[in-house]
Amino acid sequence: MQALSPQNRILGVVAAVEAGFALWYLTSGRWANGIFFTIAVAALIAVYLHRARNTKRRDGGRRY
């Protein structure tokens, strides 16, 4: 298994916290804020998956 970089670990923690905020806002009736946080979480997940995909290349994700 491949070890996660510190940036990816931080990105995962931030996404989890934002997902909690989104759930809290959506369940408390603040729909606009909840939708904003949901979109932000989706963007962070896209960045995380893009970074994870780039590091799975044959050369280890390094570009020289």
In the chain, the number of structural domains is 1
Which residues form the domain of 49? 6-54
Q: Are 19 and 41 within 8 A, CB to CB? A: yes
* Rg of the chain over all Cα atoms, to the nearest angstrom: 15
| Domain assignment present for 1 | no
| Domain assignment present for 18 | yes
pLDDT of residue 1: 45
Model pTM greater than 0.75?
A: no
Residue-wise pLDDT for 8-56, tens only, equals 788 888 888 888 888 999 899 889 888 988 898 889 888 888 877 766 5
| Domain assignment present for 50 | yes
pLDDT of residue 7: 80
pLDDT of residue 47: 85
| Domain assignment present for 60 | no
| Domain assignment present for 63 | no
| Residue 41: how many other CB atoms lie within 10 Å | 20
Q: How far apart are CA 54 and CA 34, in angstroms?
A: 30
